[in-house]
Amino acid sequence: MSYATDRLEFISRIYNETTDGDWTQYVARRYAIEMIVRATQTHHRYCEAYCNVEGFDPARIDQIERRIIKRATQIGAGVVFSRDPRGATVKLTVPSGYTDDGGREGICVPTRY
């Protein structure tokens, strides 16, 4: 599938998993989910640089992780981080326990590779 399709499916899945049918906060929740996707793109790029570039400051990764945690808390999801850029570096955990990574940790946030 394409990145655009993966992104839209992810946004829809997370929204439905964290909403409980309350549409009053639709715009705020949708914005928070889209910002998680955007920040994950940066997180993945930073993790790749951390592995490949001598002297890359891991504090930059910590900063983006704090930003993702803040947004995930707003929508009621948990976050699992991995700094290995060969796979998903950010996964969200939802109250229902749904996963798309083989039943291990959570829902993988899509990125462009």
pLDDT tens for the chain, residues 1 to 113: 688 898 989 988 888 888 776 677 788 888 999 999 999 999 999 999 999 998 899 999 999 999 999 999 999 999 999 999 998 999 999 988 888 877 788 999 999 87
Long-range CB pairs of 83-91 (<8 Å, 24+ gap) are 83/47, 83/50, 83/51, 84/47, 84/51, 85/44, 85/47, 85/48, 85/51, 89/40, 89/43, 89/44, 89/47, 90/36, 90/40, 90/43, 90/44
pLDDT at 27: 85
Within a domain: 113: no
How far is Cα 90 from Cα 108, in angstroms, rounded to an integer?
Answer: 6
Statement: the pTM of the whole predicted model exceeds 0.85? yes
Within a domain: 58: yes
CB atoms within 10 A of CB 9: 13
Q: Which domain holds residue 82?
A: 3-108
The number of domains in the chain is 1
Within a domain: 42: yes
